Every structure is written in structure tokens, then in C-alpha cells.
């Protein structure tokens, strides 16, 4: 018996890297998996069926059940196509892993509008679109559900040359918290991971060690997708190799103005007190 027997999962961007590992891990625990991947390059250009088909074949050869989907999640129609594949093939949806992503890195002053727009469309809009379409089905099923989004240290801490990617990933963190609040009454748990692993997306990022593997990330996906995580929602979990941490917002004790209202000079004079 697997942790996810009888469950149906969608994994976007599952043709390689993290998504492939997530799909394989979910299938190993008994989930039927929709493997979504546009089949394009790291920058989002191009398309093809080979990547998704290959992962579907891996799952089937291991004794699992899977179906491919080749739509782009950057449009509402594409997101609906992914969800419809799950319904048409397996009859329901229990788990969504929003993993699809691309990179168009460029420093802020050199970034073109199209670079900003396409990264926002795939990461932030794609997460919203697939979540909305799947959550509507989950609510109708009335059996709860699990939605797992993918944020990044680039969005929560920052990284040079990734204003578009960082803004999208920070947006996903905020979206996760709001979605968790709104969907809680339907027992749909919404969380996010903040992974660091060596994949096609990070192959040229020096600070990501080669021994931080995609396989390190997938156990928390299985945990968050399963009944083991009952009641866990609105949380952000960092995974770096074998280490898991939780991101939490920190607010200082602050200070109160001496009079009825702050002045700029008083803020300057008491800045250390405010921020400690």
C-alpha cells in the first residue's frame, strides 16, 4: 500500500528536473499522475512531446499509471487543458504540484518587457491558473485536496539578474498564503516549497552544489500531498539537499513615536531601535 493509493496528481513542468522526480515519487506511492510539460527549452522557447512522454513511460514501466499533457500553463485555456486531462483520464483530481518554470535572466536596466511578461506568465499566472481550475474541481468533489507551489530563494531573498523570476516567485509565496486561507474551508491544503537543486534551470548557478539533487526535494512533495500533512497549510518549506527548513516572516518589536506622530529625524535617530 502506498501513501497516495487512489489519488490523482497533476505535476506541471514534469518532463525533467524537479518535476520529473516529483512525478516519479508520487507514482511510486500509488498516485495516478498527469505529466504536464510543454517540452520547450529552459527559456521557454520551442515545444515538443518527447519530455512528457518519456516520464509517462518511466512511470508505466515501474507499474504506475500516468498520462501526458503538453499544454502551456501560461494561459487559462492551457491550465484548463491540464485539469481536463486528469478528469478525462482518471476521473478526479486530488493533488496539484505547480512546478513549471522558465528563465529569462537579465539585469534590471537591461531587461526587456517581453522577458518580464513571459516569466510572469509561466510562473505566477501559471500557478494561479492551474490552481484555480483544479481547486474548482476539488471543491466540487468535496473530498479536500493538496496544492503544492514552487517559490524560490530568488524571490524570498533575492538574486542578481533575476528581477522577473524573483518577483514571480515572491508572488507565488504570497499567492500560496492567500489561497491557503480561502481554500481551507474546503479542506484544500496549499503550501509551497523553496527548493535548491542542480537541474537544467540551475546548471550554470555556481552556488548550487552538484550533490544537491532533484531527488532530495521530492520527499516533501510526497509528505505535503499525503494525509501525513493533514492541517498543514499556508507554509513555505526550504529544501537544500538533505536539509529542510521553514521560512517564516520576522517582525521586530519596533518602537513607538515619542509624540503623536513620527518625524523623519526621529526615525533616523531611533532607526536601530526600530529595526533590532
Residues with active-site annotation: 165
Q: Tell me which H or E stretch contains 232.
A: none
Total residue length of the chain? 276
The backbone torsions φ and ψ at residue 148, rounded to the nearest 5 degrees and listed phi first, read: -125, 115
C-alpha cell at 75: 494561459
Cα-based angle 17, 11, 180 (whole degrees, multiple of 5) = 115
Cβ atoms of 47 and 98 closer than 8 Å? no
Cβ atoms of 129 and 73 closer than 8 Å? yes
Cα-based angle 134, 68, 196 (whole degrees, multiple of 5) = 75
Three-state SS annotation for 84-129: HHHHHHHCCCCEEECCCCCCCCECHHHCCHHHHHHHHHHHHHHHHH
The backbone torsions φ and ψ at residue 146, rounded to the nearest 5 degrees and listed phi first, read: -135, 130
C-alpha cell at 51: 519530455
Measuring CA to CA, which residue among 156, 87, 71 is closest to residue 122?
71
Q: How far apart are CA 38 and CA 188, in angstroms?
A: 27
Helix (H, G, I), strand (E, B) or coil at 6: coil
Amino acid at each position: 500500500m502506498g501513501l497516495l493509493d487512489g489519488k490523482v496528481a497533476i505535476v506541471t513542468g514534469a518532463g525533467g528536473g524537479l518535476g520529473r522526480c516529483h512525478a516519479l515519487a508520487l507514482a511510486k506511492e500509488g498516485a495516478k499522475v498527469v505529466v504536464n510539460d510543454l517540452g520547450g527549452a529552459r527559456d521557454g522557447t520551442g515545444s515538443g512531446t518527447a519530455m512528457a512522454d518519456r516520464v509517462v513511460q518511466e512511470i508505466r514501466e515501474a507499474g504506475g499509471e500516468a498520462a501526458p499533457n503538453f499544454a502551456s500553463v501560461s494561459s487559462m485555456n492551457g491550465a484548463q487543458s491540464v485539469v481536463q486531462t486528469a478528469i478525462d483520464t482518471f476521473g478526479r483530481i486530488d493533488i496539484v504540484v505547480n512546478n513549471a518554470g522558465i528563465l529569462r535572466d537579465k539585469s534590471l536596466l537591461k531587461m526587456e518587457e517581453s522577458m518580464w511578461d513571459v516569466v510572469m506568465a509561466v510562473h505566477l499566472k501559471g500557478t494561479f491558473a492551474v490552481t484555480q481550475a483544479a481547486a474548482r474541481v476539488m471543491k466540487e468533489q468535496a473530498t479536500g485536496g493538496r496544492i503544492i507551489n514552487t517559490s524560490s530563494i530568488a524571490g524570498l531573498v533575492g538574486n542578481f539578474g533575476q528581477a522577473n523570476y524573483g518577483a514571480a516567485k515572491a508572488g507565488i509565496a504570497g499567492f500560496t498564503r492567500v489561497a491557503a486561507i480561502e481554500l481551507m474551508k474546503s479542506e484544500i491544503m496549499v503550501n509551497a516549497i523553496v527548493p535548491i537543486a542542480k537541474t537544467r534551470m540551475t546548471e550554470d548557478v555556481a552556488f548550487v552544489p552538484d550533490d544537491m539533487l532533484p531527488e532530495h526535494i521530492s520527499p516533501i512533495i510526497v509528505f505535503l500531498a499525503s494525509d501525513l500533512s493533514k492541517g498543514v497549510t499556508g507554509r513555505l518549506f526550504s529544501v537544500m539537499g538533505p536539509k529542510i527548513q521553514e521560512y517564516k516572516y520576522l517582525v521586530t518589536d519596533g518602537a513607538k513615536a515619542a509624540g503623536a506622530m513620527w518625524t523623519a529625524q526621529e526615525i533616523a535617530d531611533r532607526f536601530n531601535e526600530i529595526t533590532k
